[in-house]
Amino acid sequence: MARIANLHKLTRRLILMTAIAMVVMAGLFAITFFFSGRFMLTWAAFIFGIIGGFVSIQQRIKNVSDEELELLCTSWFQILLVPIFGGIFALVLYTIFIGEIITGAMFPEFQLPLTPESGVDAAFFRQLLTETYPKSGEDLGKFIFWSFAAGFSERLVPQIITKTTSSVAELEKTGRK
Protein backbone atom coordinates (compact mmCIF):
# COMPACT_ATOMS: atom_id res chain seq x y z
CA MET A 1 0.00 0.00 0.00
CA ALA A 2 2.88 2.39 0.81
CA ARG A 3 4.45 1.59 -2.58
CA ILE A 4 1.28 2.56 -4.42
CA ALA A 5 1.04 5.81 -2.43
CA ASN A 6 4.67 6.59 -3.27
CA LEU A 7 4.10 5.81 -6.96
CA HIS A 8 1.14 8.22 -7.00
CA LYS A 9 3.13 10.89 -5.17
CA LEU A 10 6.05 10.57 -7.57
CA THR A 11 3.76 10.60 -10.61
CA ARG A 12 2.12 13.83 -9.39
CA ARG A 13 5.56 15.41 -8.93
CA LEU A 14 6.65 14.33 -12.40
CA ILE A 15 3.49 15.73 -13.98
CA LEU A 16 3.96 19.00 -12.08
CA MET A 17 7.60 19.32 -13.12
CA THR A 18 6.80 18.47 -16.77
CA ALA A 19 4.04 21.09 -16.79
CA ILE A 20 6.44 23.66 -15.32
CA ALA A 21 9.02 22.82 -18.00
CA MET A 22 6.40 23.33 -20.72
CA VAL A 23 5.27 26.65 -19.20
CA VAL A 24 8.90 27.79 -19.02
CA MET A 25 9.38 26.85 -22.68
CA ALA A 26 6.27 28.76 -23.71
CA GLY A 27 7.43 31.73 -21.62
CA LEU A 28 10.91 31.72 -23.16
CA PHE A 29 9.40 31.54 -26.62
CA ALA A 30 7.03 34.43 -25.90
CA ILE A 31 9.71 36.64 -24.32
CA THR A 32 12.27 36.02 -27.04
CA PHE A 33 9.76 36.40 -29.83
CA PHE A 34 8.30 39.58 -28.33
CA PHE A 35 11.67 41.29 -27.90
CA SER A 36 13.55 40.11 -30.96
CA GLY A 37 11.25 38.05 -33.16
CA ARG A 38 13.58 35.08 -32.61
CA PHE A 39 13.61 31.87 -30.62
CA MET A 40 16.83 30.28 -29.42
CA LEU A 41 17.00 26.59 -30.25
CA THR A 42 19.32 26.03 -27.29
CA TRP A 43 16.40 26.70 -24.96
CA ALA A 44 14.15 24.36 -26.93
CA ALA A 45 16.80 21.59 -26.90
CA PHE A 46 17.26 21.93 -23.15
CA ILE A 47 13.51 21.95 -22.40
CA PHE A 48 12.72 18.98 -24.71
CA GLY A 49 15.65 17.10 -23.15
CA ILE A 50 14.22 17.80 -19.69
CA ILE A 51 10.77 16.62 -20.76
CA GLY A 52 12.34 13.45 -22.20
CA GLY A 53 14.03 12.88 -18.84
CA PHE A 54 10.76 13.25 -16.95
CA VAL A 55 9.00 10.81 -19.28
CA SER A 56 11.89 8.37 -18.88
CA ILE A 57 11.57 8.46 -15.09
CA GLN A 58 7.81 7.92 -15.36
CA GLN A 59 8.39 4.90 -17.59
CA ARG A 60 10.88 3.38 -15.15
CA ILE A 61 9.25 4.02 -11.76
CA LYS A 62 7.23 0.82 -11.74
CA ASN A 63 10.51 -1.15 -11.84
CA VAL A 64 12.47 0.70 -9.15
CA SER A 65 13.06 -0.84 -5.74
CA ASP A 66 11.12 0.36 -2.71
CA GLU A 67 14.26 2.08 -1.38
CA GLU A 68 14.80 3.99 -4.64
CA LEU A 69 11.13 4.91 -4.75
CA GLU A 70 11.30 6.24 -1.20
CA LEU A 71 14.37 8.32 -2.10
CA LEU A 72 12.65 9.76 -5.17
CA CYS A 73 9.56 10.65 -3.12
CA THR A 74 11.54 12.47 -0.44
CA SER A 75 14.03 14.34 -2.61
CA TRP A 76 13.19 16.88 -5.30
CA PHE A 77 16.88 16.87 -6.21
CA GLN A 78 16.77 13.17 -7.12
CA ILE A 79 13.72 13.76 -9.31
CA LEU A 80 15.39 16.67 -11.11
CA LEU A 81 18.79 15.03 -11.62
CA VAL A 82 17.89 12.77 -14.58
CA PRO A 83 15.91 15.46 -16.44
CA ILE A 84 18.67 18.06 -15.96
CA PHE A 85 21.18 15.57 -17.40
CA GLY A 86 18.67 15.02 -20.22
CA GLY A 87 18.63 18.75 -20.95
CA ILE A 88 22.43 18.89 -20.93
CA PHE A 89 22.65 15.85 -23.23
CA ALA A 90 20.15 17.48 -25.60
CA LEU A 91 22.40 20.58 -25.76
CA VAL A 92 25.43 18.40 -26.47
CA LEU A 93 23.51 16.57 -29.21
CA TYR A 94 22.43 19.93 -30.69
CA THR A 95 26.11 20.93 -30.79
CA ILE A 96 26.94 17.62 -32.50
CA PHE A 97 24.29 18.37 -35.14
CA ILE A 98 25.46 21.96 -35.70
CA GLY A 99 29.05 20.76 -36.03
CA GLU A 100 27.89 18.09 -38.49
CA ILE A 101 29.74 15.46 -36.49
CA ILE A 102 26.87 13.11 -37.32
CA THR A 103 24.76 13.62 -40.42
CA GLY A 104 22.24 11.74 -42.46
CA ALA A 105 18.60 11.62 -43.42
CA MET A 106 17.50 10.89 -39.84
CA PHE A 107 19.24 13.94 -38.39
CA PRO A 108 18.31 17.63 -38.66
CA GLU A 109 20.17 20.15 -40.77
CA PHE A 110 20.48 23.76 -39.74
CA GLN A 111 20.79 27.14 -41.42
CA LEU A 112 23.73 28.83 -39.69
CA PRO A 113 24.76 32.49 -39.87
CA LEU A 114 27.76 33.17 -42.09
CA THR A 115 31.09 33.28 -40.27
CA PRO A 116 32.53 36.80 -40.63
CA GLU A 117 35.81 37.23 -42.49
CA SER A 118 37.34 38.56 -39.28
CA GLY A 119 36.64 35.21 -37.62
CA VAL A 120 34.54 34.04 -34.73
CA ASP A 121 33.91 36.69 -32.09
CA ALA A 122 31.29 37.52 -29.46
CA ALA A 123 28.95 39.05 -32.06
CA PHE A 124 29.11 35.90 -34.17
CA PHE A 125 28.50 33.72 -31.13
CA ARG A 126 25.38 35.79 -30.31
CA GLN A 127 24.27 35.37 -33.94
CA LEU A 128 24.92 31.63 -33.76
CA LEU A 129 22.63 31.37 -30.73
CA THR A 130 19.84 33.56 -32.11
CA GLU A 131 19.97 33.01 -35.87
CA THR A 132 20.47 29.25 -36.18
CA TYR A 133 17.33 27.51 -37.38
CA PRO A 134 16.35 24.17 -38.87
CA LYS A 135 16.45 24.25 -42.67
CA SER A 136 12.89 22.91 -42.99
CA GLY A 137 9.83 21.86 -41.04
CA GLU A 138 11.03 18.28 -41.22
CA ASP A 139 14.35 19.32 -39.71
CA LEU A 140 12.50 21.05 -36.87
CA GLY A 141 10.62 17.81 -36.19
CA LYS A 142 13.90 15.85 -36.21
CA PHE A 143 15.46 18.41 -33.86
CA ILE A 144 12.57 18.12 -31.39
CA PHE A 145 12.58 14.31 -31.59
CA TRP A 146 16.34 14.01 -31.00
CA SER A 147 16.27 16.57 -28.17
CA PHE A 148 13.54 14.54 -26.47
CA ALA A 149 15.40 11.27 -27.17
CA ALA A 150 18.60 12.68 -25.65
CA GLY A 151 16.70 13.25 -22.40
CA PHE A 152 14.71 10.04 -22.57
CA SER A 153 17.66 7.73 -23.19
CA GLU A 154 20.39 8.71 -20.76
CA ARG A 155 22.88 6.49 -22.62
CA LEU A 156 22.26 7.85 -26.15
CA VAL A 157 24.55 10.88 -26.13
CA PRO A 158 27.36 9.27 -24.09
CA GLN A 159 27.33 6.37 -26.59
CA ILE A 160 27.55 8.82 -29.51
CA ILE A 161 30.47 10.59 -27.84
CA THR A 162 32.24 7.31 -27.08
CA LYS A 163 31.76 6.00 -30.61
CA THR A 164 32.90 9.27 -32.17
CA THR A 165 36.00 9.59 -30.01
CA SER A 166 36.85 5.93 -30.63
CA SER A 167 36.56 6.50 -34.39
CA VAL A 168 38.82 9.55 -34.19
CA ALA A 169 41.36 7.67 -32.07
CA GLU A 170 41.37 4.80 -34.57
CA LEU A 171 41.89 7.22 -37.47
CA GLU A 172 44.78 8.85 -35.61
CA LYS A 173 46.35 5.42 -34.99
CA THR A 174 46.24 4.53 -38.64
CA GLY A 175 47.50 7.98 -39.64
CA ARG A 176 44.40 8.95 -41.62
CA LYS A 177 42.49 12.20 -41.24
Number of folded domains that form the chain: 1
Q: What is the band of 171 on the pLDDT scale with cuts at 50, 70, 90?
A: confident
Among 126, 58, 128, 44, which residue's Cα sits nearest to residue 87?
Answer: 44
Domain housing 135 = 2-174
Pair 146, 108: CB distance under 8 Å: yes
CA–CA separation, 102 vs 94, rounded Å?
Answer: 10
End-to-end Cα, the chain, rounded Å? 60
What is the reported pLDDT for 35?
72
What is the reported pLDDT for 96?
95
pLDDT in tens, 137-163: 999 999 999 999 999 998 999 999 999
What is the percentage of the chain residues whose pLDDT exceeds 90? 38
CA–CA separation, 76 vs 134, rounded Å?
Answer: 34
Q: What is the band of 99 on the pLDDT scale with cuts at 50, 70, 90?
A: very high
pLDDT in tens, 102-127: 999 999 999 998 888 888 888 888 88
Among 82, 83, 85, 66, which residue's Cα sits nearest to residue 74?
Answer: 66
Query: What average pLDDT score do residues 15-26 get?
Result: 84
Q: What is the band of 174 on the pLDDT scale with cuts at 50, 70, 90?
A: confident
Q: What is the band of 177 on the pLDDT scale with cuts at 50, 70, 90?
A: low
Alpha helices in 116-176 (DSSP H): 122-130, 137-152, 156-174
What is the reported pLDDT for 28?
80
